[in-house]
Amino acid sequence: MDLHALQPRGLAVADAIARTGSVRAAATVLGLAPSAATVALADLEALVGLALFERLPRGMRPTAAGELVIAEARSQRQRLDRLASDLDALAGLRRGHVTIAAVEAVAESLLPEAILAFRARHAGVGFSTVILPAEQAAAAVADDRAEVGLVFNPPARAELQVLAARDEPLCALVAPNHPLASRASVRLVECLAYPLALPDRTSGVRPLMEAFLAGASQRLEPAIESSSFAVLIAFARSGQGVAFQILPGVAHAVADGAVLAIPLSDPALFRGRLEVLTRRGRALPLAAAEFATLLGDQVLNG
């Protein structure tokens, strides 16, 4: 068997299947058509001469041969990361590219500020930002689709390393003429008297609120539910009810006077965490490592 013929795409597909449990999910992670991922896996198994995965009723599990191939795929990726970092160092950060997975709450203020500050020092470095719900943003970092994550209340994952974090209170968002508008702070149960605009359960906000009410007689019953914060803030701006978000996500709307952000005084809701994430054990290219440090400093000092 000539293992020098191993193709990077086949190795990437095998690694992604091991992470996600299916060819279809792996194809989505890699941005491939499912048929292309199927062909790449078949070609790799034909080259190796052994089955790399067991096909189970609830997904695919690596065989012993698959574990060896996947370990090699990850080792190759780490070597390429180190090479990119070394080349960036030689170039003095005159070039490079950083991919960031972030939640919508930081897309208008905190994240652009960090990117602009970094590019003021290193104008040759480019950026890609992918705005995703909290769970998906964390998964993008764990699966190496992004080097850096900026996520509010991400789910705990062993693959992720928290570089920096800060408590970020959850705020109730209301129009200036809303009955709660004069309050300096408010409890969540007080907001339940009004129509609610809630993010869906893929966000970092919704699980935090539901966990707080677990075991209580009250329940979250949204008048409107959406994955788009623009839809939710429009509902609050109209004066029809209450939406919820952390302050960085509404900084511009608050500054314009379109809505008021009233901190929730419930201790558990006052301590949501905004975290800067990387994949544990990954040797980041120099541009990504330097940006992660800058972003972490900004989060800690913000």
> What is the edge-to-edge ordering of all strands in the sheet holding 196-199?
224-226, 196-199, 242-246, 170-174, 260-263
DSSP string, 51-103: --EEEETTEEEE-HHHHHHHHHHHHHHHHHHHHHHHHHHHHTTSSEEEEEEE-
Instruction: Give the domain 170-269 fold.
Output: D-Maltodextrin-Binding Protein; domain 2 (3.40.190)
Q: What is the pLDDT of residue 5?
A: 52
Domain 3-75: give its CATH code. Answer: 1.10.10.10
Residue 79 pLDDT: 80
Per-domain residue ranges for the chain? 3-75, 92-162+273-301, 170-269
pLDDT given for residue 82 in this prediction: 75
**Cα gap 34→40, rounded to integer Å:** 10
Eight-class DSSP state of 269: G
What pLDDT is recorded for position 208?
85
Evaluate if pTM is beyond 0.75: no
228's tokens? 């788009």
CATH 3.40.190.10 fits 92-162+273-301, yes or no: yes
User: Is there a common fold for 92-162+273-301 and 170-269?
Assistant: yes
User: What pLDDT sits at residue 184?
Assistant: 93
Measured CA to CA in angstroms, residue 140 lies from 9, 20, 125, 148 at distances of 18, 11, 21, 9
pLDDT (0 to 100) of residue 174: 95
Please give the pLDDT value at position 111: 92
Amino acid sitting at position 294? L
pLDDT in tens, the chain (302 residues): 555 556 778 888 999 999 889 999 888 888 889 999 999 999 898 888 889 999 888 889 999 999 999 888 888 887 877 777 677 766 667 778 899 999 988 888 889 999 999 999 888 889 999 999 888 999 999 988 899 999 998 888 899 999 999 988 889 999 999 999 999 999 999 999 999 999 888 888 888 888 888 877 888 899 999 988 889 989 999 988 999 988 888 877 888 888 999 999 988 776 678 999 999 988 888 889 999 999 999 998 86
